Amino acid sequence: MGFAAGEKPRRDNGANLEDNTMRVAAGLILAGAMSVAMTGAAWSQTPAAKPAAAAQAAPATTPVAAAPATAPAAAPAAAAAPAAFVNPPPPKQPPQPARAACNTPGALGVARTVEIDTTGGPGFGFEHFKELDFLRDKEVVLTFDDGPWPRNTPAVLKALADECTTGIFFSIGKHATYEPEILKQVYAAGHTVGAHTWSHANLNNKKLTEAQRKDEIEKGFSAVRWALGGISPSPFFRFPALQHPPEMVTYLGNRNVAIFSCDIDSFDFKASKPEKVVETVMKKLDTKGKGIILMHDFQKHTAEALPELLKRLKAGGYKVVAMRAKFPASTLPEYDQELLKDAKLPTVSQRPVNSVVTTVSE
């Protein structure tokens, strides 16, 4: 279509739409800028949110519903892991009497003394425990179980004294309460005293509960302590029949008690005569060359065999090692109290029998 003369052309519809669109866009941009400015001003007047740590520190009266729905409910403090067992500290007590000076020329004697840190319950004796090989070639440790016992234990003490040597005595708790004066003699002579349960129960017996096994161990130590007049023994323990329930091995480790097996078992409780005890020990010892020897001061044949056995050890070039604990055993107060109830009523006098009763004629 043509235009009349002098008429100016008009913008077509597309040009008008583009112009309108530009005006609207400019207005939206201006409105957006004003909105952002106003929102920023509003946020500047709003307090900052509390951090998570502050939220946890809210008073106990804060409703549980205020917590996020996905947050797990907090466990009560009482439902947490049970409190760990805490050992009593080692008792403070006078040092053990020293061994008597040796006046016997050429006696077997004691080659060296070792101190044992029983923390964590170390095990000794290759019959069951292989980790701690501390004995040198031709060295032995003499150990005696099941005492104290009349006649037999004193005979063992005499044989050791005659050769100026020493041993470890693993006492049965009941026997300690029967013969406290004999056990005091063992301690006074400078020998190491440990424990061997309360009644010599086999702790591997499935009929025993875990509580009964612990009772055997703890009451045994408390009985030895009672028999020694309140002096704690060494934290040395031997299982009856060398039966080691794993859970009780762990328990003794937590109690910081060393566990003793052996390297050489004399089988003296099977021997028909003392010569058999000597033969058994020396044959095994000559094969192994060293070791912890297991005997019983409860056995008559052992008491009779010991003088000859010590002579054979000396003739064979063997040397005795004394084992001492770094700290005494920490008995548990509840078992100490139980022992006092079971024992006979104490008297005012605490003097030993030989200072009270004297034979004046015989």
Residue with tokens 């006074």: 188
Enumerate the β-bridge partners of residue 170.
Answer: 145, 194
| Distances in whole angstroms, Cα of residue 317 to Cα of each of 28, 164, 274 | 109, 16, 22
What is the spatial distance between Cα 244 and Cα 129, in angstroms, rounded to a whole number? Answer: 11
What is the spatial distance between Cα 247 and Cα 360, in angstroms, rounded to a whole number? Answer: 54
* Chain-centre distance for alpha carbon 268: 31
| Distances in whole angstroms, Cα of residue 308 to Cα of each of 144, 194, 277 | 16, 25, 10
Q: DSSP characters for 348-360?
A: S----HHHH----
Burial 303-339 (b: 16+ CB within 10 A, else e): bbbbbebbebbbeeebbbbbbebebbbbbbeebbebb
Residues with Cβ within 8 Å of residue 269, at least 6 apart in sequence: 296, 299
Q: Which residues are known catalytic residues?
A: 145, 296
Containing 139, the helix (H) or strand (E) segment is strand 139-145
Q: Which amino acid, residue 205?
A: N
